[in-house]
Structure 1
Amino acid sequence: MSSKTFLVTGGSGFVGRALIERLSKMPECAVIAPVRGAVMSFPPGVCSIPCTGLEPPQDWSAALKDVDCVIHAAARVHVMNESAADPLAVFRLVNVDGTLNLARQAAAAGVKRFIFISSIKVNGEVTAPGYPFTADDKPAPLDPYGVSKFEAEQALRALAAATGMELVIIRPVLVYGPGVKANFLSMMRWLYRGVPLPFGALDNRRSLVAIDNLVDLIVTCTEHPGAANQVFLASDGEDLSTTQLLQKLAAAMGRPARLLPVPVGLMDGVATLMGRRALSQRIFASLQVDISKNRQLLNWTPPVAFDRALSLTAQHFLDTRQS
């Protein structure tokens, strides 16, 4: 890769941290990381600069000086129990208005390429088994987070067309890896403790993406000429059921998987009665993606095999587990 300067937002997040770590090790690459609030520890050579947030009227002009590529990984993220009175308005402020504010200033500063980390939720929430989403499917976001990401994509496309700044959109599925939080971490804790789980009879199919694979795809898209003005989906290229995932994860931790074969219809009905339909969908339904476009346009395949990535995730959990 030729000498480049990158501005990476979201450096405090799971994806942003891993991306900055990777870029900082690449020769002749400079990395600028905006930081909000507390001082963060970045790898040597990374230039951290203060910012007040993503929302307009944040001034990015100083940070964007001499930047070749912006990788926008920061966002107001999806949460299961949203508490805002008008969630869409709050998501739009950060994910749409904030993104467009940064992109406009990037284009004005002469940034050549803008990479937007979007979400598979732009495609939709579920797929029929064997019928994965593709990068060129008609978007069908359903929740406020997915809608805000789609609206940001639309605004960025219009800006790119008007200014000539190259745009790359990447929509990851569930990201996992060493240090993962949220639901994936909860699953590891349940399995480690030997908690019986009623997920022994699930025949769905889910796509996931290891953090190392996602970062590798992003880095590929920073320079590959075929990535310009394209949309890519990100996954490991290996789909499995929730039952299979739990079994593999337990084995990676050296623990038994105590999975009870409770009928899916029964669990789904109970979850619906309890107002947990969204959580039920994430566990029981299928969500597959097709990454053949990545192979065809970028000659990219996931460099880390699923079993290896899962083993690294489990080992990190075991090494850092609180006794």
Structure 2
Amino acid sequence: MENILLFGASGFLGSHLKKSLPQNIVPVNIRKENWQEEMPYDVSVFINCIGKAHDHSGIATEKDFYQANFEVVKSLFKEFINSKAFLFIHISSIAVVEENERAGIINEQSECFPVSHYGKSKKAAEDYLLAQQIPEGKKLIILRPVMIHGDGDKGNLKLLYKIISKGIPYPLGSFNNLRSFISVDNVAYLLNEIIIRWENINSGIYNICDDYPISTKQIIEIIAQSQGRKAIILYLPIVLINFFAKTGDLLKLPFNTKRLKKMTSNLIISNEKIKHSLGIKELPLSASDGLEKTIKSFNNVE
């Protein structure tokens, strides 16, 4: 069985891949001294899940982001080139393209507008990788996922769940938005397909997301239904909501302008390139079924 080196196996995505991928997964901890010596000789694939995501607390520095999202990538890719592995899969982020609302559907040809240190450092890693000479017999796949959710998720979806599960009305009904998400199960499925069909897929960048976007109000309804209740949605004036969000910025509260943007802006991504390259018509889990599964996992924890 093929040896798959998994970097970042202790993180949210990595921990799921370690359990979900059918290949022989070998977690590698690059914090250990001389970690390269622990890699098996017979290696087929490198999967890089290492990365520093958004820092809502504002503690992380620009250097922290570039170290985790850029410098590490250079070290791993050098090892890949010198190894017997034929495939390097790098988990980037859709933040490379867009972190705020944009009209229309985003695809791999869309112009990049990273704003944060997170997005910019991820873009720097992509640029570095794309500038490298790929030897014959090897391939480089850069995946740009949208927000990944699943069991153990501690991001914006979990925050929304905590609010709604307490019976607190959802106050953002005045916002009409659609966003693309992807369940961690669909991520694992795509990675497995890439590993199996690597000879049929070209090196390059691929967006990954569920087949259809979903609105925040739909998510609210799924949360309420999972607990046998009816969703309570308020339609407060947008001006008032923006005032509360700015107050959250000043007082360093969980609800702030960044959170509000994430919860109410449009971000619609196309996954047609990856599906066409792999010969896939649709992903195993629909957007609504995937979110339902994640939210049920929250219920079990609570």
Match of 1:221 in 2: 194
Residue deviations 1:93-144, cap 9 Å, x none?
A: 1211111101101111132110001111001113445x12102222221100
- State whether residues 213 and 287 of structure 2, in contact with CA within 8 Å, keep that contact through their aligned partners in structure 1: no
- State whether residues 113 and 168 of structure 1, in contact with CA within 8 Å, keep that contact through their aligned partners in structure 2: yes
- The residue type paired with residue 12 of structure 1 is S
Match of 1:67 in 2: 43
Quick check: 1:123 aligned with 2:100?
no
Quick check: 1:188 aligned with 2:161?
yes
1:70 partner SS: strand
Which whole-Å CA distance do the structure 2 matches of 1:179 and 1:75 have between them?
Answer: 17
2:191 partner SS: helix
Residue deviations 1:129-175, cap 9 Å, x none?
A: 5x121022222211000111111111112234468631101111111
Which whole-Å CA distance do the structure 2 matches of 1:287 and 1:109 have between them?
Answer: 38
- State whether residues 225 and 231 of structure 2, in contact with CA within 8 Å, keep that contact through their aligned partners in structure 1: yes
Quick check: 1:295 aligned with 2:275?
yes
Classify 1:303/1:99 alpha carbon distance in 2 versus 1 (closer, same or farther; 3 Å). same
Which whole-Å CA distance do the structure 1 matches of 2:189 and 2:34 have between them?
Answer: 29
Match of 2:17 in 1: 19
Quick check: 1:313 aligned with 2:289?
no
Q: Mean alpha-carbon deviation: is it higher for 224-233 or for 107-116? A: 224-233
Which whole-Å CA distance do the structure 1 matches of 2:145 and 2:239 have between them?
Answer: 28
Which whole-Å CA distance do the structure 1 matches of 2:137 and 2:195 have between them?
Answer: 16
Which whole-Å CA distance do the structure 2 matches of 1:317 and 1:34 have between them?
Answer: 29
- State whether residues 170 and 220 of structure 2, in contact with CA within 8 Å, keep that contact through their aligned partners in structure 1: no
Match of 2:59 in 1: 83
Deviation at 1:289, TM superposition (A): 0.3
Deviation at 1:203, TM superposition (A): 0.6
Q: Residue 147 of structure 2: which of 174, 178, 203 is its match?
A: 174
User: Tell me, which stretches of 5 or more residues in structure 1 are unaligned?
Assistant: 36-50
1:222 partner SS: helix
TM-score by length of 2: 0.90
- The residue type paired with residue 138 of structure 2 is M
Q: Mean alpha-carbon deviation: is it higher for 302-311 or for 273-282? A: 273-282
- State whether residues 99 and 152 of structure 1, in contact with CA within 8 Å, keep that contact through their aligned partners in structure 2: yes
Deviation at 1:246, TM superposition (A): 1.3
Which whole-Å CA distance do the structure 1 matches of 2:34 and 2:53 have between them?
Answer: 19
- State whether residues 207 and 240 of structure 1, in contact with CA within 8 Å, keep that contact through their aligned partners in structure 2: yes
- The residue type paired with residue 291 of structure 2 is L
Match of 1:211 in 2: 184
Deviation at 1:230, TM superposition (A): 2.0
- The residue type paired with residue 160 of structure 2 is M
Which whole-Å CA distance do the structure 1 matches of 2:266 and 2:38 have between them?
Answer: 44
Classify 1:277/1:314 alpha carbon distance in 2 versus 1 (closer, same or farther; 3 Å). closer
CA RMSD of aligned residues (A): 2.1
Quick check: 1:147 aligned with 2:99?
no
- State whether residues 205 and 242 of structure 1, in contact with CA within 8 Å, keep that contact through their aligned partners in structure 2: yes
Q: Mean alpha-carbon deviation: is it higher for 97-106 or for 306-315? A: 306-315
- The residue type paired with residue 238 of structure 1 is Y
Residue deviations 1:276-305, cap 9 Å, x none?
A: 332221122111101111222112321112
- Number of aligned positions between the proteins: 294
Which whole-Å CA distance do the structure 2 matches of 1:59 and 1:18 have between them?
Answer: 22
Match of 1:260 in 2: 234
1:109 partner SS: coil
Q: Residue 26 of structure 2: which of 16, 29, 32 is its match?
A: 32
Identity %: 24
Which whole-Å CA distance do the structure 2 matches of 1:101 and 1:108 have between them?
Answer: 11
Match of 1:106 in 2: 80
Deviation at 1:223, TM superposition (A): 3.1
4+ residue runs over 4 A deviation: none
1:243 partner SS: helix
